Chain A
Amino acid sequence: MEFLILGNTGDVGVAIGSSLVLLVSFLVLLGALSYFVWKPLKKVMDDRENLIHSEIDDAENRRIEAQRLQKENEELVKQTQADISSIMEDARAQANKEQETIIHDANTRANQLMANAKADVEREKEKAIAEINDQVAELSILIAEKMISKEMDHQDQQQLVKQYLQEAGDK
């Protein structure tokens, strides 16, 4: 085989064998490096890339979740505060109403008691006046009797007593 080859010194032909050696050894090198070096290395790099991606995604999700929770909590707090104030308002109104009712009741009862007491007093007063009047009448009668008895004799007196007893017995 005759080829024009640069760097060759004349009578030697083409070193086809060198080409074969190169091809075989290069392909073997490629295979060995791919298997022992590039694949593990690439796997590690890809793993790292995936890890970073997933971490970023995770962080993003967490951020969104945190924001959502914060909003939720704020709303909850706002609502709770509104609830509390309305409950307080209700309670205050209720208390006011009860207070008024109680005061009103007490006033009514007090007024009633006062009225009763006044009526009682009035009645007692009238009773006492009537009693006094009676007693005054009796006393007057007694006094009148005393004054009359001096002029009445014993017989008349006895007759009068009998008459009274009879009247009392009739009653």
Chain B
Amino acid sequence: MEHGTPTFTIDLFGLPVMFDLSTSLMIIITCLIVFFVFFFMTRKLAVRPTGKPQVLMETLMNFVKGMISSNMAWKQGGKFHFMAITLIAFIFVANILGIPFTIILPDEAHTLWWKSPTADPTVTLTLAGLMIVLTHYYGVQMQGMGNYVKSYFQPMWFMAPIKFIEEFTYNLTLGLRLYGNIYAGEILLLLLVSLITTGGILGAVGGFIPLMVWQGFKLFISAIQAFIFVMLAMVYLSHKLSDDH
């Protein structure tokens, strides 16, 4: 199950900057899908909703608002509303992009072009890093530099190294949880597909039902992982924002 990755490297002031082309492409596709779906769903907005799209969008908004409110006061958390809702939409769409099909070129390296962008650890770790950086930024902004530094020594001074390392584990757990779930899901999908295509009659019959079941389950995982990612990001944010923790 080795697949090649299309790469493209440019030299930026002597540093080689490598682009994973398929991941970059999928990221942009995800962004476009998310944007246009939401854009066309909110063209006919009214104080009295006239169609289902607006109701659906408002439900999503209120859902994310509930997620934020369950972690912090809305007065503090309100400014993360748009970010959280964009994040959950992006991750969910990114997760489900790999479900219906994958595109593997029939060349020597079996170059994989169409996949979930979240099946790439670079993407998930970058997203997680963005969230963690955000928590630190708002931690300093809301508590002030002094309180922010003091919070590392908070319960006991000797716990500072643990708390310091914790910040990196947050990043890793947040990113790798998403990556692991989606990547494993895609691996299993590919295995099931290869069972159907190469396993003869028995493989085709035996693999079809599990493939469908797994696709459905992966849809569920996609939603759950998007939810968990945003929820944990909000939890980390709330840890940094409130000084009573």
Query: CB within 8 Å of B: which residues of A?
Result: 1, 5-9, 12-23, 25-26, 28-30, 32-34, 36-38, 40-42, 44-45, 47-48, 51
Query: A22-B127, A33-B38, A33-B86 given as contacts; is B57 within 8 A of A41 (CB)?
Result: yes
Contact call A21/B47, Cβ cutoff below 8 A: no
Please list 10 pairs of residues, one from A and one from B, whose beta carbons are closer than 8 Å in the complex, sorted by A's number.
A12-B7, A13-B16, A14-B18, A21-B19, A32-B35, A33-B38, A33-B82, A37-B39, A44-B54, A45-B58
Query: A12-B5, A18-B24 given as contacts; is B34 within 8 A of A29 (CB)?
Result: yes
Contact call B2/A9, Cβ cutoff below 8 A: yes
Most buried by A among B86, B121, B127: B86
What is the CA–CA distance of A152 and B19 in the complex, to the nearest angstrom?
194
What is the CA–CA distance of A84 and B27 in the complex, to the nearest angstrom?
87
Contact of A21 among B24, B57, B83 (CB under 8 A): B24
Interface string of B168-188 (1 = CB under 8 A from A): 000000001001000100000
Contact of A7 among B8, B42, B121 (CB under 8 A): B121
What is the CA–CA distance of A49 and B152 in the complex, to the nearest angstrom?
41
What is the CA–CA distance of A15 and B20 in the complex, to the nearest angstrom?
6
What is the CA–CA distance of A37 and B86 in the complex, to the nearest angstrom?
10
Contact call B46/A44, Cβ cutoff below 8 A: yes
- Top 10 nearest A-B pairs (CB, nearest first) are A17-B19, A15-B20, A21-B24, A19-B126, A18-B20, A29-B31, A37-B38, A18-B23, A38-B82, A18-B122
Give the distance to chain A from B157, nearest Cβ to Cβ, in Å.
32
Contact call A25/B120, Cβ cutoff below 8 A: no
Give the distance to chain B from A153, nearest Cβ to Cβ, in Å.
151
Contact of B8 among A17, A22, A42, A51 (CB under 8 A): A17
What is the CA–CA distance of A8 and B3 in the complex, to the nearest angstrom?
11
Is chain B's binding surface mostly helix, strand, loop or mixed? helix
Query: CB within 8 Å of A: which residues of B?
Result: 2, 5, 7-10, 15-20, 23-24, 27-28, 31, 34-35, 38-39, 41-42, 45-48, 54, 57-58, 61, 81-83, 85-86, 89-90, 117, 120-123, 126-127, 130, 176, 179, 183
Chain B residue nearest to A9 in the complex (CB): B2
Give the distance to chain B from A56, nearest Cβ to Cβ, in Å.
15
**Which residues of chain A come closer than 8 Å to B5, judged between CB atoms?**
9, 12
Contact call A42/B42, Cβ cutoff below 8 A: no
Contact of B120 among A13, A18, A45 (CB under 8 A): A18
**Which residues of chain A come closer than 8 Å to B8, judged between CB atoms?**
17
Most buried by A among B45, B117, B122: B122
What is the CA–CA distance of A141 and B122 in the complex, to the nearest angstrom?
176
